[in-house]
Amino acid sequence: MDGLNELLILGGSLFAIFVIFCIARLLGLGRKPDLRDADCALVVAQEVESGFEAKRVSISAAKDAALLKSEDGRIMLIKRHGGHFVGRILTGKASAQEEVDALIVNPSKAEQHFGSVRLRLDDAASWADAINRL
Partner 1 sequence: MPDFSPTQIAVPFFIVAILSEMIWSRLRSPAAYEPKDTLVSLAFGLGSTVAGTLLGGFAVGVLVKAYDYRLIDFGQEWWTVWWAWPLAFVLDDLKYYWLHRAGHRIRWMWAAHVNHHSSQHYNLSTALRQTWTGAFTFGLLFAVPLVLLGFHPVMLAFVGGINLVYQFWIHTEAIDKMPRWFEAIMNTPSHHRVHHATNPRYLDRNYAGVFIIWDKMFGTFEPERGDEKIRYGIIKQLGSFNLLWSVFHEWIGMLRDIWRAPWRHKLSYLLREPGWSHDGSRDTSDAIRERWHQRQALSQHHSD
**Residue 93 in the binding site for partner 1 (CB under 8 A):** no
Among 4, 27, 109, 133, binds partner 1 (CB under 8 A): 27
Query: Are residues 31 and 84 in contact, defined by beta-carbon separation less than 8 angstroms?
Result: no
Query: From the CB of 125, what's the least distance to partner 1, in Å?
Result: 26
Query: From the CB of 113, what's the least distance to partner 1, in Å?
Result: 4
The site string for partner 1 over 42-81 (x = CB under 8 A, - otherwise) reads -----xx-xx---------------------------x-x
Angle at 105 between CA 120 and CA 85, to 5 degrees: 75
Identify the CA nearest to 47 among candidates 33, 30, 62: 33
Query: Are residues 42 and 54 in contact, defined by beta-carbon separation less than 8 angstroms?
Result: yes
The DSSP bridge partners found for residue 87 are 78
Query: From the CB of 23, what's the least distance to partner 1, in Å?
Result: 6
**Residue 3 in the binding site for partner 1 (CB under 8 A):** no
